[in-house]
């Protein structure tokens, strides 16, 4: 048994072996010869999604460098590259990604595999930037797929079920600056009355709340200076006031671990995430869940969440509301629908969190809530399959690429394959 645990420490991988292949040939031999195998990214998921009863494969030794193609405006990286490393290098060379998650510490392949997202009405999740990928499949064969190829849209958000992604090519754009401003004390009444006016107020907007009381906690507005929607220096925003010092999403925690705020413009790579690469993101001692809801149900879902405050708030460190644009990636929780993300950073009390999740999911079911694949949720294949129009196409694709189920694990059996 390996001794590795996930980032939050709530899950200990049960795999008996862990391998760090240093070349493609080594990776291919390893996969071809393995009985069961799974890719492990930077271990930031909160569940057993990356585990295997065989060999865990970590790509930290398989460095293919970071190569920018200025003609096609793309960058190619190893699956194990972390967003923080990639963002710093792109910025140094004058380029940008369209968005980042709340933290830069996660691996590109691991984030893409679970449709990890940031925020912004016009921003697809991080997987939508994938132009091409290279995959080592069950028999050790290297398969490549590009946007537009048959099955490509099924391969990107792959949940580790299709093979080991060795290389990814992502869209890039010219570097841009972002100014981040935090407002505090936004009124729930104003938010619910004008939600459709609120979220386009920034390139990326996050609302942090514990769902209790008449005001939501904080709004983090990240505006591109080349397309600022909201003029800086606003005295008031949805009846909230601008913070006068750096804030952390968690009440009472110092803002010094967070990216620069107070409207000071700076590179996208230092502003689009909430947390800085050099520090522990969020709290560390926590659990997380998240549900993606279609935009047309947003206000009703927010009202429902407020009504559930008595159940949810005591277990919460903080909640976050973000927006994500629709995509066409088969198992993306944003497939076919613009939406909002209702995120929960829970206290690290797993039995209590696991007890609340079925109740929460029952309340959010009328909104066709799809859970974040990398966080804690209760649903299984029976409840998830009807939520995804291309679900059976995905299982068929997995059957073709991995007929013996080498990459399947308990998580995939429970949530995707239904056994």
Binding site for ligand FAD (CB under 6 A): 7-8, 38-45, 49-50, 59, 79, 101-103, 106-107, 109-111, 113-114, 116-117, 159-160, 164-165, 281-282, 288, 372, 374
Cβ nearer to ligand FAD, comparing 55 with 215: 55
In this structure, what are the phi and psi dihedrals at residue 295, rounded to the nearest 5 degrees?
-55, -40
Q: How far apart are CA 350 and CA 343, in angstroms?
A: 16
Q: How far apart are CA 319 and CA 209, in angstroms?
A: 5
Give me the residue label for tokens 């393995």.
34
The three-state secondary structure class of 63 is: coil
CB of 190 to ligand FAD, least distance (A): 25
Give me the residue label for tokens 């671990």.
257
Residues 6+ apart with CB under 8 A from 339: 292, 293, 294, 295, 298, 323, 324, 326, 333
Residue pair 14/6 in contact by the 8 Å Cβ criterion: no
Cβ nearer to ligand FAD, comparing 215 with 287: 287
CB of 331 to ligand FAD, least distance (A): 11
The three-state secondary structure class of 100 is: coil
CB of 163 to ligand FAD, least distance (A): 7
Cβ nearer to ligand FAD, comparing 44 with 370: 44
**Which long-range contacts does 148-153 make (Cβ < 8 Å, 24+ apart)?**
151/397, 153/328, 153/329, 153/330, 153/390
Radius of gyration of the chain (CA): 21
CB of 136 to ligand FAD, least distance (A): 8
Q: How far apart are CA 98 and CA 354, in angstroms?
A: 34
Cβ nearer to ligand FAD, comparing 156 with 242: 156
CB of 7 to ligand FAD, least distance (A): 5
Q: Is 97 left (phi over 0), alpha (psi -120 to 50) or beta?
A: beta
Count Cβ atoms within 10 A of the Cβ of residue 385 and give its class: 0-12 exposed, 13-18 middle, 19 or more buried.
middle
Cβ nearer to ligand FAD, comparing 49 with 153: 49
CB of 210 to ligand FAD, least distance (A): 18
CB of 413 to ligand FAD, least distance (A): 13
Q: CA 346 from chain center: how many Å? A: 17
CB of 308 to ligand FAD, least distance (A): 22
Q: How far apart are CA 76 and CA 184, in angstroms?
A: 39
CB of 372 to ligand FAD, least distance (A): 6
Q: CA 73 from chain center: how many Å? A: 23
Q: How far apart are CA 396 and CA 313, in angstroms?
A: 41
Cβ nearer to ligand FAD, comparing 242 with 357: 357
CB of 45 to ligand FAD, least distance (A): 3
Cβ nearer to ligand FAD, comparing 109 with 243: 109
Give me the residue label for tokens 């925690």.
253
Count Cβ atoms within 10 A of the Cβ of residue 120 and give its class: 0-12 exposed, 13-18 middle, 19 or more buried.
buried
Cβ nearer to ligand FAD, comparing 183 with 291: 291
How many CB atoms lie under 10 A from the CB of residue 46?
Answer: 23
Alpha helices for 134-251 (secondary structure H): 152-155, 188-193, 195-198
Cβ nearer to ligand FAD, comparing 242 with 247: 247
Cβ nearer to ligand FAD, comparing 84 with 185: 84
Q: Which residue has the closest beta carbon to ligand FAD?
A: 110
Cβ nearer to ligand FAD, comparing 27 with 215: 27
CB of 173 to ligand FAD, least distance (A): 20
Question: How many CA atoms are closer than 13 Å to the CA of 184, on its beta-carbon side?
Answer: 12
């Amino acid at each position: 048994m390996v001794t590795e645990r996930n980032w939050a420490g709530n899950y200990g991988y049960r795999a008996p072996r862990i391998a760090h292949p240093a070349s493609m040939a080594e990776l291919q031999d390893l996969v071809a010869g393995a009985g069961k195998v799974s890719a492990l990214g930077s271990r930031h998921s909160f569940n057993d999604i990356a585990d295997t009863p065989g060999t865990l494969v970590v790509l930290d030794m398989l460095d293919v460098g970071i190569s920018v193609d200025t003609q096609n405006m793309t960058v190619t990286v190893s699956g194990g590259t972390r967003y923080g490393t990639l963002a710093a290098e792109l910025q140094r060379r004058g380029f940008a990604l369209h968005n980042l998650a709340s933290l830069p510490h996660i691996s590109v392949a691991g984030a893409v595999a679970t449709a990890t997202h940031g925020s912004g009405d016009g921003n697809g999740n991080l997987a939508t930037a994938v132009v091409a990928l290279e995959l080592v499949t069950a028999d050790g064969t290297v398969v490549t797929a590009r946007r537009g190829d048959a099955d490509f849209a099924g391969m990107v958000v792959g949940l580790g079920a299709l093979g080991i992604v060795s290389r990814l090519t992502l869209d890039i754009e010219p570097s841009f600056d972002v100014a981040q401003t935090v407002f505090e004390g936004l009124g729930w009444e104003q938010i619910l009355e004008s939600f459709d006016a609120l979220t386009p107020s920034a390139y990326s907007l996050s609302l942090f709340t514990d769902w209790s009381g008449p005001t939501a906690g904080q709004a983090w507005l990240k505006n591109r200076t080349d397309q600022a929607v909201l003029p800086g220096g606003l005295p008031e925003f949805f009846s909230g006031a601008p913070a006068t010092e750096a804030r952390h999403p968690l009440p009472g925690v110092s803002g010094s671990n967070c990216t620069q705020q107070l409207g000071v413009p700076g590179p996208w790579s230092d502003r689009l995430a909430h947390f800085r690469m050099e520090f522990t993101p969020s709290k560390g001692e926590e659990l997380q869940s998240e549900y993606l809801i279609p935009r047309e149900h947003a206000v009703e879902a927010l009202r429902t969440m407020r009504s559930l405050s008595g159940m949810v708030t005591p277990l919460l460190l903080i909640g976050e509301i973000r927006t994500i644009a629709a995509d066409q990636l088969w198992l993306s929780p944003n497939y076919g629908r613009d939406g909002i993300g209702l995120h929960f950073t829970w206290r690290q009390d797993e039995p209590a969190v696991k007890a609340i999740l079925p109740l929460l999911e029952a309340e959010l079911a009328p909104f066709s809530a799809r859970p974040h694949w990398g966080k804690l949720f209760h649903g299984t294949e029976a409840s998830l399959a009807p939520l995804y129009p291309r679900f059976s196409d995905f299982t068929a694709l997995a059957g073709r690429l991995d007929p013996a189920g080498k990459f399947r694990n308990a998580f995939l059996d429970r949530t995707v394959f239904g056994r």
